[in-house]
Amino acid sequence: MIIRTESDRKECIEKISRINLDKPWRVDADLFKPSRSIAMNALYYAWLSEISKYTGDGIAYTRGFIKWEYGVPILLARGEPEFNNLIDSIVNNMQYEQIIELFGTESIQVSSAMKVPEFLDYLKNIEEYCFSQHIPLARESDYYNEAMGIKP
Q: Is the pLDDT of residue 141 over 90?
A: no
Q: Is the pLDDT of residue 124 over 80?
A: yes
Is 75:114 a contact under the CB 8 Å cutoff?
yes
What DSSP character marks residue 105?
S
Whole-angstrom distance, CA of residue 83 vs CA of residue 72: 9
The whole-number average pLDDT for the span 122-137 is: 94
Residue type at position 57 = D
| pLDDT value for 142 | 61
Specify the pTM: 0.73
Q: How many angstroms separate the first and last alpha carbons of the chain? A: 30
Distances (CA, A) of 150 to 70, 116, 137: 21, 15, 17
Tens of pLDDT along 51-62? Answer: 999 999 999 999
Is 144:127 a contact under the CB 8 Å cutoff?
no
The CA-CA-CA angle for residues 146, 106, 145, to 5°, reads 5
| pLDDT value for 151 | 66
Tens of pLDDT along 102-121? Answer: 999 988 889 988 988 999 99
What DSSP character marks residue 18?
T
Whole-angstrom distance, CA of residue 145 vs CA of residue 112: 21
